[in-house]
Structure 1
């Protein structure tokens, strides 16, 4: 995988450098996924800070389709085993995913002990077990008042579930398809996506059981669009290298942070998922960061998945503590963002060093 493939999620987000034709690295895509992950943190801290940030997931799915196709498409065509592909994906995603589950579990235990939650032991045990294995919690169907979401221990984990599911579909089927057939898959997925958008009045679906049906067309359309982009433009040299690359980064952040009237929400969400997200990814391919910004862009991309998968549980603990000492929301968010960036970076580095040590020992 590439620096763009540490996981979703944000979706394709983990390896360090991909050699594809004339491209050694996509620095603008690195930067964009990092900025998008920060917007997700902002909306979870306070929704008004980035009210459309749930659309970052649709961008991440497009990015994932592009990167997975770039790295694994030809390998699968040349005989890479399905088991090897999935083992590589899980190996990249799982260490930080598991830490995210542990952080979420600690959050729930602390909030319960502080009297801020009323959590049943059976719900906690079953949900933790299911979520640990990338599976949604079944407690929605078994209890009157279960914890919210399909992945209540660590909310952002829901996109990892759909990410792995579409990875399976890719490795078994999508990578074999022609561009025309892929466009057909995207078209069918788009039709279902439109239905979902208007059914729920938005695309913030797929993370809880009542809207679980929305997750499949979201991931299938966006991931397939990313595969099509890879087939058409992967490996092409950038049109321009310079500060113009900031434009798609700003466009992405504006789109996923924008407040939108309720009456326009389904139209806006569908426009972003079906048109703007693929367009922004393509702009990220064609407009590359200048040499002076490459190190920063790489670092921002590196911390994107750790931030995404670790922040939710940390917010749950931080906010009541901040409120108890009188921190107002903007200052509290600034403090939290700085802390979570440091936590995510240190954790990612420790995980990388541990994995590298184990790999050397295995050899």
Structure 2
């Protein structure tokens, strides 16, 4: 699996609203994460469309650290129980995550029935149970010719595993640290990340078993950097509000879509993860979208997680169907993107309505 089929997070990411600070929403960050999700869809359709898009995960982890610290840091300091924090996180992530697993499972069954993929019933069953519980599949160690992905049912789910793991670390430890101590954690994580980046020749790691060990420093550095940004700048009013806020959005897309020579790849990836991603998040704080763009930015941010966690299974079915119809190239991609966005939006709305009904019933 290429590109982000380590899964790609990434984003994992909470809605930007709901902060306890003076500033309750970050529209530029909403737009950024949506555009990054689209780049991930592009690389999974054809890697050449966005060959560096796996770096979107590093951006997502920085953004997640900022948002989680912004929303929950003070609550945890004031005594929010660990169980309440994790319950809130799982309720936020799991409904769409489970649908993503279901879509991935349907994709595998269809591709197997079409003779395009082979996977044993035992492999499918064990992997589905493990992945459905936010856990990597152990089948890599139990088969002669296993798939290397930790989350073979739905590739992007790998980043959710690391997301929840670092959330646990945050709620038990990171939120208690001073800025100086957080910087030390980030520095140590960065040093380890450099070692793995040079060892593997890139940062497209942490999604498959052979490079699984690289996932921890990757998420620890980026998430901790996001927490530091929240401590330093969270809630501050934007320096400037206007169309100039498009600049960091474009910068992000250029960075994660750019082709990079293989000899420069490890250095480019490390530069983006350890410098550009945090800087871009800060630019998103300082440069805010104009009022005319707020509704669109909010919508783009709203679909980012659904697009990310649902797109892989859709692509798996779309590509052979489109190929049989003679649909390919950019036209096929735009057809796919439209399908993914519509499916993601409708699914997210249905999930939200269902959750709202259940909440009212409980109350």
Gaps of at least 5 residues in structure 1 are 1-6
Residue 217, structure 1, aligned to residue 222, structure 2: no
State whether residues 14 and 68 of structure 2, in contact with CA within 8 Å, keep that contact through their aligned partners in structure 1.
no
Q: C-alpha offsets along residues 35-75 of structure 1, whole Å, 9 cap, x if unaligned?
A: 00000000000000000000000000000000000000000
Say which SS state the counterpart of residue 136 (structure 1) adopts. Answer: coil
1:12 matched residue in structure 2? 13
- The TM-score normalised by the length of structure 2 is 0.97
- Distance in 2 separating the partners of 1:213 and 1:308: 23
- Distance in 2 separating the partners of 1:339 and 1:16: 27
1:76 matched residue in structure 2? 76
- Distance in 2 separating the partners of 1:307 and 1:148: 24
Say which SS state the counterpart of residue 262 (structure 1) adopts. Answer: coil
2:321 matched residue in structure 1? 321
State whether residues 310 and 344 of structure 2, in contact with CA within 8 Å, keep that contact through their aligned partners in structure 1.
yes
Say which SS state the counterpart of residue 303 (structure 1) adopts. Answer: helix
State whether residues 73 and 175 of structure 1, in contact with CA within 8 Å, keep that contact through their aligned partners in structure 2.
yes
Q: C-alpha offsets along residues 256-281 of structure 1, whole Å, 9 cap, x if unaligned?
A: 00000000000000000000000000
- Distance in 2 separating the partners of 1:280 and 1:304: 17
- Distance in 2 separating the partners of 1:192 and 1:316: 34
State whether residues 196 and 214 of structure 1, in contact with CA within 8 Å, keep that contact through their aligned partners in structure 2.
yes
2:5 matched residue in structure 1? none
1:192 matched residue in structure 2? 192
Residue 179, structure 1, aligned to residue 183, structure 2: no
- Distance in 2 separating the partners of 1:176 and 1:139: 38
Alpha-carbon RMSD across the aligned residues, in angstroms, is 1.0
State whether residues 26 and 285 of structure 1, in contact with CA within 8 Å, keep that contact through their aligned partners in structure 2.
yes
1:241 matched residue in structure 2? 241
Q: C-alpha offsets along residues 2-27 of structure 1, whole Å, 9 cap, x if unaligned?
A: xxxxx933122336443521x12100
2:362 matched residue in structure 1? 362
Match runs of 1:21-32 below 5 Å: 21=22, 23-32=23-32
1:342 matched residue in structure 2? 342
TM-superposed deviation, 1:328: 1.8
Q: C-alpha offsets along residues 156-200 of structure 1, whole Å, 9 cap, x if unaligned?
A: 000000000000000000000000000000000000000010000
- Distance in 1 separating the partners of 2:260 and 2:97: 32
Gaps of at least 5 residues in structure 2 are 1-7
Say which SS state the counterpart of residue 235 (structure 2) adopts. Answer: coil
Number of aligned residues? 356
Match runs of 1:108-257 below 5 Å: 108-257=108-257
Residue 98, structure 1, aligned to residue 98, structure 2: yes
- Distance in 2 separating the partners of 1:208 and 1:28: 32
Runs of 4+ in structure 1 over 6 Å off: none
- Distance in 2 separating the partners of 1:173 and 1:151: 27
State whether residues 229 and 282 of structure 2, in contact with CA within 8 Å, keep that contact through their aligned partners in structure 1.
yes
State whether residues 14 and 92 of structure 1, in contact with CA within 8 Å, keep that contact through their aligned partners in structure 2.
no
State whether residues 16 and 67 of structure 2, in contact with CA within 8 Å, keep that contact through their aligned partners in structure 1.
no
- The TM-score normalised by the length of structure 1 is 0.97
Note closer, same or farther for the CA distance 1:78–1:17 as it changes in structure 2 (3 Å cut). closer
Q: C-alpha offsets along residues 77-112 of structure 1, whole Å, 9 cap, x if unaligned?
A: 000000000000000000000000000000000000
- Distance in 2 separating the partners of 1:178 and 1:329: 50
State whether residues 123 and 147 of structure 1, in contact with CA within 8 Å, keep that contact through their aligned partners in structure 2.
no
TM-superposed deviation, 1:118: 1.3
